Amino acid sequence: MSRLFQHLPSVDSILTALTQDSGMAKLPRPLLRDLVNEFLDIKREEIRAGAVSSPEELAFERLLPVVQASVRVKARPHFRRIVNATGVVIHTNMGRSLLAPEAVNAVHDACSRYSNLEFDLTSGERGSRYSHVEKLLCSITGAEAALVVNNNAAAVMLMLDTLAKGREVIVSRGQLVEIGGSFRIPDVMAKSGAVLREVGTTNRTHLSDYEQAIGDKTAALMRVHTSNFRVVGFTGEVDLTDMRKLADRFGLPVIDDLGSGTLFPLAIAGMPPEPTVQEVVRQGADVVSFSGDKALGGPQAGIIVGREEWISRIKVNPMTRALRIDKMTLAALEATLRLYLDMDSVCRKVPTLRMITAGYRQLRSRATNLRKAILTAVGDWVNVSVRRGISRVGGGAFPECDLETALVAVVPKGFSVSEFRHRLLEADTPVVGRVEEDAFCLDLRTLASDEFRLVVAAMTQACSRLAS
Ligand SMILES: *Cc1c(COP(=O)(O)O)cnc(C)c1O
């Protein structure tokens, strides 16, 4: 056995061979050395365990391709691109919204060059980072003032901390939502120092429920978008306009956590009616918050719009500084918001809106092309068909809305769908789809045509590994 150890190639000989490969030569040398050592350690372990029987198995030429493959996989960055073929447009686990090219370019400029982030070019003095988007947000939503922070969870926290610390906020029991990622309205409320005053029932809440709960300690009335669930049947919630009238009688503000929040009236594209931020502002919500990376289609951010008197208080809350957004986000947000200045083209230009509104016929014709490409590459290994299916908006927006879509259904021959799915996750660019009726399905709604080659590459990798 000790004789076998001597046949293992040296670290340096492997390193020299690896760096002949231009891709690997770019990797940090110490990283390569660590990975090669790791590989050799495993080989030594195999020798000790008696899993290697002859010196030939340790020959340099035999080991090199194996080391190459192992190093290539282990040297990949941890945070990587994937192909989202799930059909869930705003997929929180996959980065939610994709940015429009305009926003991507703005991010590039903002982080590779100096900027007027907090520098007023008129006075030549210090400026405000919020100034870059405040006017835009006001002109798009009709609000008096606006502010942006890290995300909508932060925005909700800030609104409550500023307007209601130590006092009561009245919320309908039908809106005490948990949106996942441990964001639950009662918990957020508790953390902000506001006291939750629940009213009504799970399925029905009346204006009189709010009215009876108003007292000395009341700071605000609050609405929370029931993002990811629906109460159906015998239900009722109070209209914002009625809530506004009630709040006025007692001099209270109305806070509205819209969750996803849309600036574009998606109903005209055939989606279920959903109040836009503009409508909510017009109906009299005092402070409204929503996400930047859900249906808006921008970067992760929490946007707060509303009445000047409240927004100005939020701006000077010390927590705002701790939750502020960075320059890259700001650049992406301004560029995305500018696309909303032309409502005729915004649906084409913002990828999230484009994917949500994509029509079946177009998806179907792209599915046919993908099917052909897959058949050409791995037709011996799989059966491929085009099916009708349903995709989801995701991100807690339009939870019950079925979007008709086209799926490419792939059924491997001679091995399981779950094995296939697993192998696709191990590809250089992992492909994530969904398993439906014993087939691996790729939803064309979230799959771009320029990603077909990545799907084909992943499937080729998956099938050749299964073949070996
Ligand atoms: C998504 C959502 C949030 C949290 O927004 P993030 O931007 O993810 O922090 C808060 N409230 C509601 C109702 C939501 O749907």
pLDDT tens per residue across span 202-238: 999 999 999 999 999 999 999 999 988 888 889 999 9
Residues in Cβ contact with 57 at an 8 Å cutoff, skipping those fewer than 6 apart: none
141 lines ligand 1 (CB under 6 A): no
Task: Return the H-helix or E-strand segment holding 112.
Answer: helix 101-112
452-467 vs 417-425: helix crossing angle, rounded to 10 = 120
Average pLDDT, the chain: 95
Residues in Cβ contact with 47 at an 8 Å cutoff, skipping those fewer than 6 apart: 1, 4, 5, 8
Do residues 126 and 343 touch, judged by C-beta distance below 8 A?
A: no
Would you say residue 183 has pLDDT above 60? yes
Centroid of ligand 1 to alpha carbon of 154 (angstroms)? 9
152 lines ligand 1 (CB under 6 A): yes
Using only C-alpha atoms, the chain has a radius of gyration, in whole angstroms, of: 28
pLDDT of 1? 67
The DSSP call for residue 26 is T
Report the residue among 90, 227, 258 best suited for mutation to probe ligand 1: largest number of ligand atoms under 8 A from its CB.
227
Centroid of ligand 1 to alpha carbon of 387 (angstroms)? 33
Parallel, antiparallel or unpaired: strands 183-184 and 195-199: unpaired
pLDDT over 70 for what percent of the chain? 99
pLDDT of 230? 83
SS3 content of the chain, % helix, strand, coil (to 5): 45, 20, 35
The 3-state DSSP class for residue 100 equals coil
Cα(240)–Cα(257) distance, integer angstroms: 12
Would you say residue 107 has pLDDT above 90? yes
Closest atom of ligand 1 to 395 CA is 1
CATH architecture of 83-92+355-467: Alpha-Beta Complex (3.90)
Cα(190)–Cα(207) distance, integer angstroms: 24
Token pair listed for 130? 């919020």
Lowest mean pLDDT among 52-61, 86-95, 214-223: 52-61
Would you say residue 21 has pLDDT above 90? no
Which candidate, 376, 352, 467, places its Cα nearest to that of 415?
Answer: 467
For the segment 399-404, the average pLDDT, to the nearest whole number, is 90
In sign, the C-alpha dihedral spanning 361, 367, 368, 370 is: positive
412 lines ligand 1 (CB under 6 A): no
Centroid of ligand 1 to alpha carbon of 44 (angstroms)? 51
pLDDT of 132? 95
Buried b (16+ CB within 10 A) or exposed e, 281-290: bebbbbbbbb
* Phi, psi (degrees; rounded to nearest 5) at 417: -65, -35
The 3-state DSSP class for residue 223 equals strand
Centroid of ligand 1 to alpha carbon of 50 (angstroms)? 55
CATH architecture of 101-349: 3-Layer(aba) Sandwich (3.40)
Report the residue among 183, 188, 189, 226 best suited for mutation to probe ligand 1: largest number of ligand atoms under 8 A from its CB.
183
- Triad 453, 24, 73: Cα angle to 5°: 60
pLDDT single digits (tens) 110-152: 999 999 999 999 999 999 999 999 999 999 999 999 999 999 9
Which candidate, 192, 132, 143, places its Cα nearest to that of 163?
Answer: 192
pLDDT band at residue 182 using 50, 70 and 90 as cut-offs: confident
Do residues 294 and 261 touch, judged by C-beta distance below 8 A?
A: yes
Cα(363)–Cα(356) distance, integer angstroms: 12
Cα(199)–Cα(206) distance, integer angstroms: 9
259 lines ligand 1 (CB under 6 A): yes
pLDDT band at residue 192 using 50, 70 and 90 as cut-offs: very high
The neighbour count for residue 1, using CB atoms within 10 Å, is: 8
Which candidate, 467, 460, 466, 455, places its Cα nearest to that of 430?
Answer: 455
pLDDT of 467? 55
Would you say residue 468 has pLDDT above 60? no
The 3-state DSSP class for residue 106 equals helix
Cα 298 from chain centroid (whole Å): 10
Cα(327)–Cα(113) distance, integer angstroms: 11
The neighbour count for residue 12, using CB atoms within 10 Å, is: 10
Lowest mean pLDDT among 58-62, 90-94, 177-181, 290-294: 177-181
The 3-state DSSP class for residue 92 equals helix
User: Which amino acid type is present at position 355?
Assistant: M
Cα(465)–Cα(468) distance, integer angstroms: 5
The neighbour count for residue 103, using CB atoms within 10 Å, is: 28
Token pair listed for 111? 């982080």
pLDDT band at residue 397 using 50, 70 and 90 as cut-offs: confident
Do residues 305 and 143 touch, judged by C-beta distance below 8 A?
A: yes
For the segment 12-35, the average pLDDT, to the nearest whole number, is 93
pLDDT band at residue 312 using 50, 70 and 90 as cut-offs: very high
The 3-state DSSP class for residue 90 equals strand
For the segment 50-54, the average pLDDT, to the nearest whole number, is 90
Cα 3 from chain centroid (whole Å): 54
Do residues 326 and 154 touch, judged by C-beta distance below 8 A?
A: no
pLDDT single digits (tens) 433-456: 999 999 999 999 999 999 999 999
For the segment 324-344, the average pLDDT, to the nearest whole number, is 97
Would you say residue 70 has pLDDT above 70? yes
pLDDT band at residue 3 using 50, 70 and 90 as cut-offs: confident
Which candidate, 144, 117, 444, places its Cα nearest to that of 306?
Answer: 144
Closest atom of ligand 1 to 92 CA is 8
User: Which amino acid type is present at position 158?
Assistant: L
Q: 83 pairs with which residues across the strands?
A: 431
Domain segments of the chain as ranges: 2-74, 83-92+355-467, 101-349
The 3-state DSSP class for residue 260 equals coil
Cα(450)–Cα(83) distance, integer angstroms: 11
Would you say residue 293 has pLDDT above 60? yes
